[in-house]
């Protein structure tokens, strides 16, 4: 039986998830077509992708970059139409020809196009966890209201999705579920003496022991903010109260997460740490397709370790639980502060331990309001960014 060809808009095609997504598409040209490729500013890389995948549309940040790409595409004889800006991302996530959207922009910039895909009832493959952190209630409401199909790409959430019963939307407790076990590698600094953490460099923070990822999420993994964002992501994806979400440090990253049931069963998903597995699962669900991933060799792995998270070392993880309990715009404020803090750290403007301090200070200074509308979320995001930038400029935590 031949599958129907699906048109996919890839938001963030030049990033780590975007490139892995295109690799899965490349392996299944009979099933998937890259309909629109969207990137921020990497003209060369996007042009290479256009040459290979011949998308109908390509999008860059601004008119000048788009003009460069358009020239190169027309010189190469491609029909790709080049666009720019957020309005184009929104439009190309919602066009009737689009079957599925891979949401793989990093950070808050992905919120509007991903929300547009949900509102257009698309199949949304969600890697961009910041969407749920900022606007979980709004986004899940859009998914339900417009009949979108939401498939988690984040490896942990994909593992949980694979370990849950198909009808989990009737309620986790009703399905006999006691706990979600969200695994975390603990990042590169799990055992680094606290006294040395003050001096770690961006390259050390980005050298993740198991996963190769974009720089922002790599720093988030080093602070464990990433796991905190994932706790919030799990709350919305699976309608799980924070008490039901247990973070388990598992340094080998073989078990990608698990679900504990009342009868004593724990169902987990295992595999090598390669994002093409959850990407392929989301793309083909409920079917399975080859993803080019090395089979897991349990004999080579030999043993697996587990430990409780250290909330004092990883203050960002505690902050995430705090904002989740507080609700409203508190998670959006934390997310915005963290994006500024991570950018400042990567830029040499803030020490590693300053990330958690800055996040905490911004949360303490700005009262959270109700999540309300997209405008409320974006206003909270903007205010938190402004304050965080000011604190960086004043070198409060330098
Ligand atoms: P990345 O930095 O490698 O790539 C980000 C992509 O987004 C690039 O294509 C970039 O051009 C684009 N982009 C950035 N800012 C943009 C903007 N303002 N407008 C339009 N496009 C923009 O990031 P990544 O590691 O691929 O992560 C992407 C998302 O997936 C993040 O939310 C991350 O948390 C999540 N995620 C990543 C991994 C992973 O293994 N890399 C795993 C799980 C979840
Ligand atoms: Mg993850």
Delimit the domains of the chain by residue range: 6-152, 155-273+303-312, 327-398
Centroid of ligand 1 to alpha carbon of 236 (angstroms): 20
Q: Does the predicted model carry a pTM greater than 0.95?
A: yes
Centroid of ligand 2 to alpha carbon of 154 (angstroms): 5
Does the Cβ of 106 fall within 6 Å of ligand 1?
A: yes
Q: Among all ligands shown, which has an atom nearest to the Cα of 257?
A: 2
Closest ligand 1 atom to Cα of 154? 43
Q: How many residues in total does the chain contain?
A: 398
- CATH numeric code, 327-398: 1.10.1740.10
Place of tokens 């606290």: 194
Does the Cβ of 363 fall within 6 Å of ligand 1?
A: no
How many Å apart are CA 64 and CA 61, to the nearest integer? 9
Q: Which of 105, 134, 219, 227 to mutate to test the pocket of ligand 1 (most atoms within 8 A of CB)?
A: 105
Write down the pLDDT at residue 2: 55
> Domain 6-152 is of which CATH architecture?
3-Layer(aba) Sandwich (3.40)
The DSSP 8-state label assigned to residue 366 in this structure reads: S
Does the Cβ of 211 fall within 6 Å of ligand 1?
A: yes
Inter-CA distances, 379 with 33, 44, 233, 296, Å:
36, 34, 21, 45
Does the Cβ of 213 fall within 6 Å of ligand 1?
A: yes
- If the chain, 398 residues long, is cut into consecutive pieces of 10 residues, what is the mean pLDDT of each piece? 84 98 98 98 98 98 98 98 98 98 97 98 98 97 98 98 96 98 96 93 94 94 98 98 98 97 98 98 98 97 96 97 97 98 97 98 96 94 98 92
Write down the pLDDT at residue 1: 47
Q: Among all ligands shown, which has an atom nearest to the Cα of 155?
A: 2
The DSSP 8-state label assigned to residue 173 in this structure reads: T
Does the Cβ of 128 fall within 6 Å of ligand 1?
A: yes
Buried b (16+ CB within 10 A) or exposed e, 344-380: bbbeebbbbbbbbbbbbbbbeebebeebeebebbbeb
Q: Which of 11, 114, 127 to mutate to test the pocket of ligand 1 (most atoms within 8 A of CB)?
A: 127
Residues 6+ apart with CB under 8 A from 243: none
Cα-based torsion angle of the residue sequence 379, 384, 387, 390 in order, rounded to the nearest 10 degrees: -110
Q: Among all ligands shown, which has an atom nearest to the Cα of 156?
A: 2
């Amino acid at each position: 039986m031949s599958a129907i060809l699906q048109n996919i808009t890839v938001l963030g095609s030049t990033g780590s998830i975007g490139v892995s997504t295109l690799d899965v598409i490349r392996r299944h040209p009979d099933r998937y077509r890259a309909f629109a490729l969207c990137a921020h500013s990497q003209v060369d890389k996007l042009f290479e992708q256009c040459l290979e995948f011949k998308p109908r549309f390509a999008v860059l940040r601004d008119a000048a970059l788009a003009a460069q790409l358009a020239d190169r595409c027309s010189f190469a004889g491609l029909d790709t139409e080049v666009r720019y800006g957020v309005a184009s991302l929104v439009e190309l996530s919602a066009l009737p020809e689009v079957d599925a959207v891979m949401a793989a922009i990093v950070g808050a910039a992905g919120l509007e196009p991903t929300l547009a895909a949900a509102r257009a009832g698309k199949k949304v493959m969600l890697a961009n966890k910041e969407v749920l952190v900022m606007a979980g209630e709004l986004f899940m409401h859009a998914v339900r209201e417009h009949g979108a199909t939401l498939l988690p790409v984040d490896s942990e959430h994909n593992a949980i999705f694979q370990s849950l019963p198909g009808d989990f939307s009737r309620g986790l407790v009703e399905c006999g579920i006691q706990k979600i076990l969200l695994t975390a590698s603990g990042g590169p600094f799990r055992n680094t003496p606290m006294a040395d953490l003050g001096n770690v460099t961006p390259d050390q923070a980005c050298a993740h022991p198991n996963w190769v990822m974009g720089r922002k999420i790599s720093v988030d993994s080093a602070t464990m903010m990433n796991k905190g964002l994932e706790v919030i992501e799990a709350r919305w994806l699976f309608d799980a109260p924070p008490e039901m979400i247990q973070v388990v440090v598992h340094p080998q990253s073989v078990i990608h997460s698990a679900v504990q049931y009342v009868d004593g069963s724990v169902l987990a998903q295992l595999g090598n740490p390669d994002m093409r597995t959850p990407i392929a699962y989301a793309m083909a669900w409920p079917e399975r397709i080859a993803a080019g991933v090395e089979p897991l060799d349990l004999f080579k792995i030999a043993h697996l370790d587990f430990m409780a998270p250290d909330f004092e070392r990883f203050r960002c993880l505690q902050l995430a639980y705090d904002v989740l309990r507080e609700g409203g715009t508190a998670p959006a404020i934390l997310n915005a502060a963290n994006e500024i803090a991570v950018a400042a750290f990567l830029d040499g403007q803030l020490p590693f331990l300053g990330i958690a301090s800055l996040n905490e200070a911004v949360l303490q200074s700005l009262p959270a309001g109700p999540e309300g509308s997209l405008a409320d979320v974006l206003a909270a995001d903007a205010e938190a960014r402004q304050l965080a930038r000011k604190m960086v400029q004043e070198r409060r935590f330098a």
